[in-house]
Structure 1
């Protein structure tokens, strides 16, 4: 447990000492703040449904930038071999990097709650969809971070790692549009791989165990594969 805490502290320091973390948070808040203000003035409704869908897309575009350096940079700096020979397990290494990256996602989500606070100050919003929307974004962010972690574990190039993660997100974002064209039961199987299909209920205030299980399963599967990829080095 002590070794994990040391690894986590190291990863947190590396992440939040890099300017990219603050650039991502600033860009995220500026874009979402503009979108929130514009949507509120146009719709005149105290709702964050549209904002959640926009956060969904923005998370998909920014998560690769958070995760691309996690292992790829270690290889570039020739520190991965030192890390692997230290008295720590591959599981601890993977979990430390995952938790550190998720901490940035959580900070971004916490900062965005200012929009919900503004709705509560000026109106009377239904907080049910707001709570479920943030839960959905947290689960979605977890799946993205773990997928990006796996991509970074498989390549030594940060750009390639980011492109792999982005490609997976884009494919699983639009895959339901092609799934409906397939014959049964292949159509159902393909549609159920869609990230947007599983996120949509959260954004509108519904929580289904199948959607929670999907994001948790993706997270666990990719973390296990990351550990195996690291162990084979």
Structure 2
């Protein structure tokens, strides 16, 4: 966006617009949160240390940051990264997609723009400048989404790492001599990775075709631990029809026993 029309708005009008928008930011944020609760009742709203919903804090900061940058003449308002990364992180840690979060952001931008358009009319800012303001708002939305994607990716990586750790512990437990409470411990470990304990298992040790070889796509239900020099594989109910053929295709190029 080339913010030519906005730059031509008299300074006094920009300051008046910013003053009104900043003063109303808490109220706008509260209205947005109310709409979010109505339209997305299943979304979990986490509270900060003061007991205030983090979503409300994030919305308010986003509005205030956007308006302050407009007042300063900055072409590209800076997104407050921490809270929006945290929103994405929360979705990732709970295994949800970012679809609902992005829909919530679009709702917030739409409601904010509705009020900003009214303030623009009140201050008598020309339509071309307000069009540019709307474009800048959607650029800002892209920034919010980008920060949330960063948080989401971090959480997804953390979840994957934790799952691999738990899966490795499960494999270790499957391969040791049973002890007194091992059955209960095994059931608990299996449940944590969503693995249904089978009647029988087969265990294999793989030889890497190359040091940086990509893990074979062995399919759901088969445990694979790639951190060892010789990766270990645990196949539940190996006599299941078609399982041997699936494994043979998945491990093409690999050797082992």
Aligning the two structures, in what range does the TM-score lie when normalised by the shorter sequence?
Answer: 0.3 to 0.5
Higher strand share: 2
Higher helix share: 1
Q: TM-score, normalised by structure 2?
A: 0.32
Higher relative contact order (CA 8 A, sep 6+): 1
Q: TM-score, normalised by structure 1?
A: 0.34
